[in-house]
Amino acid sequence: MAERLRMMAVHAHPDDESSKGAAVMAKYVKEGVDVLVVTCTGGERGSVLNPKLDRPEVWENITEIRRAEMDAAREILGIRQEWLGFIDSGLPDGYLEASEEERPALPEDSFGVVDPEVAAERLVKLIREFRPHVVTTYDEDGGYPHPDHIMTHKISMVAFDAAGDPERYPEAGEPWTPAKLYYNMGFFKKRLLALHEAMLAEGLESPFADWIDSGRAWMKDKGDRVTTSVDAGEFFGVRDDALRAHATQVDPEGFWFGIPMEIQLRIWPTEDFQLVRANVPTTLPESDLFAGVR
């Protein structure tokens, strides 16, 4: 009997798992893959982005609410989920636009200021317990430069390389070397432009117009780094349902749901990744995160 395939997706906050690679996770779950999401922080300092829920009683109970939202999203996606236990750094006003030297200090108890070598031990322990074949995380810019996303990248890189080394973190369990490591690559110019132009061609307003027109300095074009595109359009509806479950974080009438499903499926039915570590032979480009593992 073949060993069950296992995938670990490492994310910064509850809701990130539903906006980055969620359709691919749902696809693999249907195929019988065991999928574990690791959530680094509790999202305690996140904003309430749904205007209908921006109320004092929500803010007062945000930690419990975000955990309940994560439970709901987990059930929709059919995944397992573990909390790494770090505290959300928040995102001070102007942080993304400021230079590194001018950015405001983060709270002393926050994930964004931890020592990656120390913090990675918690993730190493989970990798050794779950023994994933494939790990996904963020690139060196965090996908976008939120401090928790950048720290998620840092500890993921340390943990992926250390998990198979018996001399590193010896108290964290029996060594395990995952076969492959990927970066999520959702927001790159070619994809955004294709969807944007399709909306305009239909006489519709594009949710990406401001992004494209403003040329946000922190949005780098990384489309040439995509190595792996997984056809997951069948599961875009599941992805959207999971994202809506994070009701405090997502306006159900807002940005994330601004492109009709018909256009998404016709123009860009894949979710995209960059292969950055491979301990098995594979040929690029790929259409499966488990290429070389199956």
Q: What is the CATH number of the domain that holds 243?
A: 3.40.50.10320
State yes or no: 16 annotated in a binding site. yes
The residue segments making up the domain with residue 170 are 6-187+224-278
Give, to the nearest 10 degrees, the angle between helix 62-77 and helix 22-30: 50
pLDDT tens for each residue of the chain, 294 residues long: 468 999 999 999 999 999 999 999 999 999 999 999 999 999 998 778 888 888 888 888 889 999 999 999 999 999 999 999 999 999 888 887 778 788 888 999 999 999 999 999 999 999 999 999 999 999 999 988 899 999 999 999 999 999 999 999 999 999 999 999 999 998 888 898 899 999 999 999 998 887 776 655 456 778 899 999 999 999 999 999 999 999 999 988 887 899 999 999 999 999 999 999 999 999 999 999 999 998
Structure-derived torsion over alpha carbons of residues 72, 76, 78, 81, reported in degrees to the nearest 10: -30
Q: Would you say residue 23 lies in a domain?
A: yes
Domain annotation covers residue 284:
no
Q: Is the Cα dihedral 97, 100, 102, 106 positive or negative?
A: positive
Token pair 């040329």 in the structure block, residue: 215
Note whether residue 168 is domain-resident: yes
How many domains are there within the chain?
1
> How far is residue 3's CA from residue 189's CA, in Å, rounded to a whole number?
38
The answer to the question of residue 210 being in a domain is no
Sign of CA pseudo-dihedral 122, 126, 129, 134: negative
Residue 104 domain-assigned? yes
pLDDT at 30: 98
In a domain, 139, yes or no: yes
- Asked if the structure places residue 288 within a domain, the reply is no
Whether 11 has a binding-site annotation, put simply, is no
Instruction: Please give the structure tokens belonging to residue 179.
Output: 């076969």
Residue 1: its pLDDT value, please?
46
User: For the chain, what is the total number of helices (H) and then of strands (E)?
Assistant: 10, 7
Exposed / middle / buried, residue 118 (Cβ in 10 Å: 0-12, 13-18, 19+): exposed
Answer yes or no: is 211 within a domain.
Answer: no
Identify the pLDDT of residue 94: 80
